[in-house]
């Protein structure tokens, strides 16, 4: 009977230790007010510069700029095509989206109402992802790579 009691005591202590460790996992200093880990809470905010490459239009590479602000998991800002680049039907649009860890999921909406969806992985200096656009003048899809400036 002593053996069972010893095993039960160790099991109870192990469970109690796990509970104590898990109780330290909510919020605290390691997370921002929104529950977003402090390490990614504001990594996205700022100016990102780079290129997008169409998979639909051969040779369709365009220089782009993404200026974003971040509040918790919400992202908003402005998307622009650099002057004198090809394939930009509109030179700018608004951006709205959400951040989940190191992943941005967003939509760029243009003045005529058409939109492009994009998803990207990012860290403090680089962002890489893919986009998909539905437009009356022709659909497009491709990839992009940006560097924080």
pLDDT at 42 over 60: yes
Domains of the chain, start order: 46-148 (2.40.128.30)
Tokens 């919400």 sit at which residue?
74
Q: Which residue has the higher pLDDT, 58 or 23?
A: 58
pLDDT at 50 over 90: yes
DSSP H or E stretch at residue 3? helix 2-23
* pTM (predicted TM-score): 0.70
């Amino acid at each position: 009977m002593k053996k069972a009691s010893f095993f039960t005591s160790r099991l109870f202590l192990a469970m109690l230790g796990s509970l104590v460790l898990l109780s330290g996992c909510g919020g605290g200093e390691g997370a921002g007010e929104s529950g977003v880990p402090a390490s990614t809470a504001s990594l996205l905010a700022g100016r990102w510069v780079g290129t997008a490459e169409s998979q639909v239009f051969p040779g369709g590479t365009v220089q782009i700029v993404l200026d974003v602000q971040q509040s918790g998991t919400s992202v908003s800002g402005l998307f622009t095509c650099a002057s004198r680049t090809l394939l930009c039907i509109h030179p700018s649009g608004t951006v709205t989206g959400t951040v989940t860890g190191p992943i941005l999921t967003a939509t760029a909406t243009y003045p005529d109402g058409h939109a492009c969806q994009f998803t990207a992985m990012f860290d403090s200096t680089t962002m890489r992802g893919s986009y998909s656009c539905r437009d009356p003048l022709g659909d497009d899809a491709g990839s992009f790579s940006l560097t924080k400036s």
